[in-house]
Amino acid sequence: MLHPLMARYQIHVCDGPSCGVTHGSEALVERLAAAIAEDSDLRGRVGVRCYTCFGRCDDGPNLFVQTLAEGEDGDDEPEPEVLETQRGFYPGMDEAKVLQVLRQHCGRGRVVEALVDEY
């Protein structure tokens, strides 16, 4: 396993009708992108993109932190088995929570146990 400061991550933020329109996930994408751009340790290792829908609309806004394998392109939506096997699904996000996930999960390589849920 890679050292947490070398691992690469892709954060997928739901922008489906519920998370995007009702819960305002677009603002979370913008906040994450800005925080990543401001942090030299995260810039180049962590990306953020919109995801179609996780199917957990009542829990939104939702995001998934995907640990990327060497050479893996983070621009593609993760396969269902990735969502089911990697521990990185975070429901009910707000700005404070996404920044905590960014710092701890992506920055230190530690899942935020208080916030993560099974997909």
Note the pLDDT of residue 10: 97
Question: pLDDT (tens digit, 0 to 9) for every residue of the chain, 119 residues total?
Answer: 555 558 999 999 999 888 877 778 999 999 999 999 999 999 999 999 999 999 999 999 999 999 999 889 888 888 889 999 999 999 999 999 999 999 999 999 999 999 999 98
Q: What is the pLDDT of residue 20?
A: 78
The tally of CA atoms less than 13 A away on the side-chain side of residue 14 is 25
pLDDT value at position 4?
A: 56
Which domains can be identified in the chain, with CATH numbers?
Answer: 8-75+89-96 (3.40.30.10)
70 dihedral zone (left: phi>0; alpha: psi -120 to 50; beta): beta
| Token representation of residue 95 | 């700005």
